[in-house]
Amino acid sequence: MRINCLLVLLMSLPQLLGCASIDPITLRADQGKLQDLTLATTRPGFSGAGYAAGFKNSTGEIEWTFEAPHPGIYDLQIRYSASGAKGYELILNDVGYDGTLPASPRDFSEHNAGKVEIAQGKNVLKLGRGWGNYDIDSIKLVPSGPLAPPKAVAAKLADPLATPAACALMERLAQNYGRGTFTGVIKDADRKHVESVTGMTPMVMGGDLMEYSPSRREHGSNPRNETERLIAAAAAGHIVTYLWHWNAPTDLINQRNFVTKSGKRVDASWYRGFYTEATTFDFAAALDQPDSPAYALLIRDIDVIAAELKKLDAAGVPVLWRPLHESDGKWFWWGARGPDNLKRLWRLLHDRLTNHHQLHNLIWVYTWNDHDWYPGDDVVDMIGMDAYPKRANDPLIGKWADALRHFDGKKMIALTEIGGTADVPRMRRLGAHWSFFASWTGAQGPQKTPEADLRRIYQSPDVLNLGGR
């Protein structure tokens, strides 16, 4: 018995001592293999024989091959200089860890790029241009361990009149937050693909109110009973999430080959009316004039959507409701007038649905990226993030850490859209504990994920499928 206890103690000693006894791994630019880059010395403060410069074209890349005696989780720190915020593409052992470097125009600065996973023995790290131009002095890998699990979040909805079904769903999400990630898809075809490959059924089923937008119906669009499909999905046990690609209420350009003021040629057809480039609708001006025809059209559209949400309410279905998504990207018209006007529109939508239409089955999910755009805790129940990483296996640990800094212990965080399938086992090893994920559809859906990876993810104990806890 004493021998067994001693053995356990010896095995636990590295964890008890922490990572301080393991030396960091430093990769200098002059030690890497440079492709279409130069080893420069004009900028002061570099280490080694020079720094890597010339990340101006798509083929610029630096590659390091190094040995790691201790596998595990490391913090990756980039020592760099950049005139402005610059995106980079980082690949470690064929896993993507893309991110953005903050501006550091004068001296070399150190940026913590988040957690990465180091393998035993040989490792290959590549750093490519991404969409920026910057200089790289070195990369340091510091033994750390995964991020701590998120703090518990109270299962309390902002709406004091929330339905029992909505409260029960919120409680279910809160109980599993940090314990497991609910899987999700958007369309029935995506669900069927997952089932055929993995034998598992995604828990979350998504839908889009896009075709109910009046300015689309005017052109003959057909919603094809999208709401009824989601009611049936809920009856089959799925958690329902609904978003709305809101076609602008009016002022659609409706030209297939439209030339913008900047000279860019775009498709501004009516069916792309949710994009900023396809409409001249000024919703901020409409909000300024509540007695205007434009404001009346905003209300008309909201009321049409309320009718669909009421069908779900009548069926006892709570909804993870995700309107006005990706606003800070500004590619949708509801983000084209800046953060303050987005907040005004969000609050109008919230008030109209909650108070005027008495819809209390909604769990309001705000798609977050830039905190300046956040509408406020009193009108948001959950935080969502959308991601379409260049490499589908990117664990998105940086996006998770960003959201956690603002919302840990306050709001649950979900991966509301992802191109491909969230690699939940890898994400959780690094410390990302999304409440749920929802794969996008078609070429950006589960079919984008290799079948072996899809099985590994959906059959993992880290995920919660239909029929799970």
Q: Tell me how far apart the terminal alpha carbons of the chain are, to the nearest angstrom.
A: 37
What is the four-CA torsion angle of 213, 216, 220, 223, rounded to 10 degrees? -40
417 is an active site residue: yes
Distance CA 137, CA 139 (A): 7
Exactly one of 61, 89, 308, 417 is catalytic; name it. Answer: 417
**Catalytic choice (89, 211, 326, 451):** 326
Q: Which residues are catalytic?
A: 326, 417
